[in-house]
Structure 1
Amino acid sequence: MKVQLVLALLSLAALANARKPSAARYDNFKVYRAFVEDNEQLEEFKKVHQHIQVHILHEIGGPNRSYDVIVGPLFQKVFEKVLHDLEVKYEIIVEDLQALLDESSVDEDAPMDWETYHPLSTIYDWLDDQCAEHDYLECKVIGHSHEGRPIRSVKLSKREGNKAILLEGNIHAMEWISSATVTFILNQLINSKDAEMQRLTEEYDWIVVPMVNPDGFVYTHEVERLWRKNRRPNGYTNTSGPCFGIDMNRNFDFHWSGAGWNIEDPCDHWFGGDEPNTEREILALQDFVSSFQDGYIRAYMAFHAYGQYVLLPYGHSNTEFPPNYDQMMRIAAAFADGAVDAYGSVFTYGASGLLNYVVSGAAKDWAYGVKGIPFTCTIELRDKGTFGFFLPSNQITEVGVEVTEGLKSLVAKADDEGIFD
């Protein structure tokens, strides 16, 4: 009987191990930066991924821009030949992607800090500790992901009558620096002895949702570091099988599906869904924002990577601008002025449709266009492309410091501009 029990347990263990997916590796994968000069090159460049197995790291917008592309060893010579034939100039910016990823390996057992990247469990344990230690924090589960993971919020309020600033992180799974920065800021707000940070917590309420996409985030740690979307099966298939996920920052119901690269391809990284507001994660976020009295939340800031931008509404157009766009530009300029003082990082600011690329259905545009929050933005964090989405963990603290300094200046300018009136 004991032998049978042992064999049964061994069988269960073997089955569990067999079912646990192994993390994808990128040994000798290169990251290319292609410089697309004109519309003719652009139209041909858009077709490359249909014929060669490559991973384009960000949406393809217009000409006169560079685009970063991951290519495995089997396709590198073919890819280089295609670029040569198209007369598209390029450079190799990462020789071995796996070696770069290994620079930010995750210690599952390390306590929460901002020297390394952490798994979801460590982040959530740290939130629990903070919530237990400070009675001015109101901590909630605002909803659950497709796979049932909680989506957590923390509201910091020390005085009645304050207006609020909302910080949102990691709606895109692969952008680890996002939640790392949002939790860095939250830690400063809670634990810093800096007089200015203490004043900010006395005069303003802070609402923080550090992890909008927990399923995707876990998937990037356990299976696929390059994953961007959530993990809901979206009902489509391709030659590799069922397709998963919606780009949740393309699924908000404000000019949804009006513009964007490959937002209609259900198996690509930027699929915005068959209709808006389909994802339970963003519905939970929207319901949470809507649960507060109108006029209470006065600033909404979504944190992303990369490029060092302060992106303002609107994203769906490069010719249409919000009524108070000039005011928002002055506030964004204050952030850039504050951030550059820390380590010299230069942030460019302006409407996202103008500076970055035209795309619809983003959180910041919904917050402005639907909820009427007078200052909204996307902060695209470090860097400008040397490491891109794979920023080494030894830069987390510097990013946190420069963004915190920028945030101080932003809030001061927003107050001067009457945003919190």
Structure 2
Amino acid sequence: MKLVFLLIALVPLVMVAAKSTPGRMAARYDNFAVYKVDIDTDEKMEELKKIHERVTVHILNELMGPGRSYYLIVGPLFRRALDRFLNFLEIVYEVVVDDLQKLLDDSAVGNDDQMEWENYHSLDTIYDWIDKECAAHDYLECGVIGKSYEGREIKSIKLSKRPGNKAIFLEGNIHAMEWISSATVTFLLNQLINSEDPEMQRLSEEYDWIVVPMVNPDGFVYTHEVERLWRKNRRPNGYSNTTGDCYGIDMNRNFGYHWGGAGWNIDEPCDHWFGGDEPNTEVEILSLQNFVNSFEDGYIRSYLAFHAYGQYVLLPYGHSNTEFPPNYDQMKRIAAAFSDAAADVYGSVFTYGASGLLNYVVSGAAKDWAYGVKNVPFTCTVELRDKGTYGFFLPSNQITEVGTEVTAGLKALVNKAAEEGIYN
């Protein structure tokens, strides 16, 4: 959800990459540092919003207000200037990463010959695994819900072992750089298909599972081949700046439910949070919506969108911090079950509640569309590990741990939702 704000001198680096041809060397971040800054007053917040006037940085979080920590990426030439800026304003900070490229290398694609969950994988490997599983199991119905702007398939999997079940929908990687999202969604799908755990097999018998693990294939491929810090899709959005044409829409700001009402820089076409000139403009989003619309009303009873990072279970609504769904208390009880069970595995604490209240106010998200338009009675965004140490660049050696704790949380969530009558 939170992502990279590209500014000034680093923009040419990224924009050159955006126009690159296949095979061109990807952008690198050798000796770039990641700073954690704590903002405790409105005055400091306003100064941070103007930081690009003095220092060249990437800002990893949407700038929403004081009382929060924010993460900045700075190149080696600008570290002294950033230190002076922060010290002058008496902003408390620490350097949490000394060499961003080393961290990126640690989370890069490893052995890509076959699908497993010790490494991140390319789109081709993920899709090959899906195809093989679909060919091996007659209870899987697999298809293509549409194609991306650049013509890549958006694949879906429906697991159904008996008629009359209600369905749970899992969605991944709407934001390109959040690799742990599709890794976790495919981990969960693998558990439902291949796990010998009796509880997972029961859940695969008693519920239908509809999975779209890769909503943003163009952006995902771009993060592998050109720019690891990319968030949006890859459609030219009709705007330009001094560096050239601007690309992409933040697709989790493009859904029509309360679109455009709130959010950091959602109306800035060359920023990574641009929600589009109108709602529902992106072919990937329209394909996802049409796919959901293809099922009869009342069939999909839970919709879970997986993102990084922060360890949250974010409930509707995102567009307000004073308006809440009619069954908000019920949804909080279900989210609490996920949080408690996930924490029992490795101690990872997931905070739960309305996203507009806990995280920040932003409009046009998938979970709000699923709740507000499709009337799915439990929807959420699960923000996966971690709380900022690695952020979007979680090392691959944590994939299995994330999958394991989320599997535990998912079991508890579904069982609590059933107890609450969500699947009636």
Alignment of 1:3-402 (within 5 A): 20-107=23-110, 109-402=112-405
The amino acid that maps onto 1:38 is T
**3-state SS of paired residue (2:364):** coil
Per-residue deviation, residues 55-85 of structure 1 (Å, max 9, x unmatched): 1112111211000111111222212222222
Aligned to 2:10: none
CA distance in 2, matches of 1:49, 1:171: 28
CA distance in 2, matches of 1:384, 1:61: 17
**3-state SS of paired residue (1:146):** coil
CA distance in 2, matches of 1:262, 1:74: 27
Per-residue deviation, residues 85-111 of structure 1 (Å, max 9, x unmatched): 222111110000011111122136421
**3-state SS of paired residue (2:367):** helix
**3-state SS of paired residue (2:163):** coil
**3-state SS of paired residue (1:262):** coil
CA distance in 2, matches of 1:50, 1:315: 30
CA distance in 2, matches of 1:152, 1:345: 31
The amino acid that maps onto 1:308 is Q
**3-state SS of paired residue (1:409):** helix
Structure 2: any 5+ residue segments left out of the alignment?
1-19
Structure 1: any 5+ residue segments left out of the alignment?
1-16
Contact kept in structure 1, 2:111 and 2:119, CA below 8 Å: no
**3-state SS of paired residue (2:352):** strand
Pairwise CA RMSD of aligned residues?
Answer: 1.1
| TM-score where L is the length of structure 1 | 0.95
**3-state SS of paired residue (2:292):** helix
**CA apart distance, 1:20:** 2.9
- Structure 1 outlier segments of 4+, above 2 Å: 17-21, 49-53, 107-110
The amino acid that maps onto 1:214 is P
**CA apart distance, 1:115:** 0.1
The amino acid that maps onto 2:134 is C
CA distance in 2, matches of 1:397, 1:248: 27
Contact kept in structure 2, 1:252 and 1:366, CA below 8 Å: yes
Identity %: 75
CA distance in 2, matches of 1:406, 1:328: 14
Contact kept in structure 2, 1:57 and 1:68, CA below 8 Å: yes
CA distance in 1, matches of 2:394, 2:54: 29
Per-residue deviation, residues 321-344 of structure 1 (Å, max 9, x unmatched): 000000000000000011011111
Cα 1:266–1:51 shift into 2, 3 Å: farther
CA distance in 2, matches of 1:50, 1:117: 37
Contact kept in structure 1, 2:115 and 2:126, CA below 8 Å: yes
2:376 counterpart of 1:411: no
The amino acid that maps onto 1:110 is D
Cα 1:289–1:402 shift into 2, 3 Å: same
Aligned to 2:14: none
Contact kept in structure 2, 1:59 and 1:261, CA below 8 Å: yes
CA distance in 2, matches of 1:145, 1:358: 28
Q: How many residues align?
A: 405
CA distance in 1, matches of 2:330, 2:306: 21
Contact kept in structure 1, 2:112 and 2:122, CA below 8 Å: no
Larger radius of gyration: 1
**3-state SS of paired residue (2:144):** strand
Deviating more after overlay: 42-51 vs 68-77: 42-51
Contact kept in structure 2, 1:108 and 1:119, CA below 8 Å: no
The amino acid that maps onto 1:369 is G
CA distance in 2, matches of 1:409, 1:185: 14
CA distance in 1, matches of 2:147, 2:118: 28
**CA apart distance, 1:43:** 1.2
CA distance in 2, matches of 1:290, 1:372: 11
Per-residue deviation, residues 293-319 of structure 1 (Å, max 9, x unmatched): 000000000000001000000001111
CA distance in 2, matches of 1:339, 1:19: 41
